[in-house]
Amino acid sequence: MTKKQPNYSHIFNSLSADRLEKYKKHKDKTFGDLETVQRYLYNIEVSAEVSKAVHILEVVLRNQLAHEWNKFLSCSDWPMNKQGIPTTNKFQRMHQKIDEAISRAGGRHKNGKVIAELSFGFWVHLFDSKFDVQNIKLVQKILPQRTQWDKALTKEIKNIRDDFQMINELRNRVAHHEPIFHQKDLDQKYALIIRYISEINPACLDLVNQAKFQDWRMSRWHGIVFP
């Protein structure tokens, strides 16, 4: 029995030529229809593994941050109470984000729900230089399993902020279904996500299938069977 061939023209019309252009051409090489779809599906598989790792990092990071800030401020409902966040102009965006999170949580005053509603970007901003006084006291507790620290903690905090900003940008590309498989430093970015999970709580690495990511990276898009 002859295997039915996919209707590539219909598939491409629905996915859009603009979106598939990134998968159909690379430098001076143009791929065929099957190869284009393989590359597209390969990106989905790789993105799924990156998304899982970022998911775990985001959850453990925000919970760790909230826990340590609560201890530092001797309270139990930070960030909902906004304690420690000044009311000057440059902090107004953070106040707004918390208010929006409280609203999305249904107005119910449960701090855990508010924490879950705040974006990764909000937590990244806690490593901004405007928080350096607090961060110097907190940063080593936020990453309790980190073994090497720069003696200048403000420099270390900046490096951490840059790392998390890069991870957040990668997260957003995945969330918007953009290609990431072609990034030359994708393996290094994934390894960085894994490292930060281990520096917060290595037990949570059991929730991430690192081998599956590595297998996809080794087989590349050639490992995709379609249809």
pLDDT at 98: 93
Task: Encode 162-182: b = buried (16+ Cβ within 10 Å), e = exposed.
Answer: ebbeebbebbeebeeeebbbe
User: pLDDT, tens digit, for every residue of 91-123?
Assistant: 899 999 999 999 988 866 688 999 999 999 999
DSSP states along 53-73: HHHHHHHHHHHHHHHHHHHHH
Any alpha helices (H) in 130-204, and if so which ranges? 132-142, 153-175, 186-200
pLDDT at 129: 79
Mean pLDDT of 132-157: 87
DSSP states along 97-118: HHHHHHHHTTT---HHHHHHHS
User: pLDDT, tens digit, for every residue of 176-200?
Assistant: 999 999 999 999 999 999 999 999 9
* Torsion angle defined by CA atoms of residues 170, 39, 215 and 60, in that order, rounded to the nearest 10 degrees: 20
Single pTM value for the model: 0.92
Report percent pLDDT > 90 for the chain: 74
Supply 139's token pair.
């940063």
pLDDT at 33: 94
Residues 6 or more apart whose Cβ sits within 8 Å of residue 15: 40
